[in-house]
Amino acid sequence: MADLYNEDVMDHFMNPRNVGVLKNPDGVGETGNPTCGDIMKMYIKVGKNGKGEEYIEDIKFQTFGCGAAVATSSKTTEMMKGKSIAEAKALTNGDVAKELGGLPDVKMHCSNLAAHALHAAIKDYEAKKK
């Protein structure tokens, strides 16, 4: 399938980083579209860094979907681990696809939703905090 996805996407698909469930997560977010066949779930643990900023101390994901769906999920966790909540909020699906060196056009819409799942997890965390 060399032509279907680039090497980095294939690497993240075949050897996904941070797969699984976090015990006692601070936030859980799910996004997806059953019609397109992609469901992504993100789990985050939030900590405070030296500057007193909230950051993503740990992050894990579960994904049902095609190669692109898994790869974008994996890449998102890799990019965002250790980043501040503010940085995570600013992440777009486009950033993830770009970081992966691009995705096939047809995959950009449905399978590239990992940033949304992360935002949902942050929202869940913030709602619980209140």
Partner 1 sequence: MSIYMDHAATTPVSESVRKAMEPYFSEKFGNPSSIYALGREAKAALWDAREKAAELLGAESPSEIIFTSGATESNNLAVKGVAHAGAFAIGGVPHVITTSIEHHCVLDSVKFLGKNYGVEVTFLPVNKEGLVDPKEVEKALKPNTVMVSVMMGNNEVGTVEPIAEIGALLKKVKDKRHEANDKTPLVFHTDAVQAFQYFDCDVDKLGVDMLSLTGHKFYGPKGVGLLYVRKGARFIPQQDGGAQERNLRAGTENVPYIIGMVQAMEDAAVSRKESDKHISELSDYLTARILKEIPETELLGPKNVSKRLPHISSILFKRVEGESILINLDLQGIAASSGSACTSGSLEASHVTKAMGYSDLEAHGAVRFSLGKVNKKEDIDKLMEILPGVIEKLRAMSPIK
Active site residues: 36, 110
Residue among 7, 47, 64, 98 that touches partner 1 (CB under 8 A) = 64
The smaller minimum CB distance to partner 1, of residues 42 and 55, is found at: 42
For 52, which DSSP code?
A: S
* Cα–Cα dist 102/107, whole Å: 10
> Does 34 engage in binding with partner 1 (CB under 8 A)?
yes
User: What is the DSSP annotation of 65-100?
Assistant: S-HHHHHHHHHHHHHHTT-BHHHHHH--HHHHHHHT
- Read off the tokens for 61: 């994901």
Residue among 22, 25, 27, 67 that touches partner 1 (CB under 8 A) = 67
Site of interaction with partner 1 (CB under 8 A): 1, 4, 10, 13-14, 16, 19-20, 30, 34-41, 62-67, 69-70, 106, 109-111
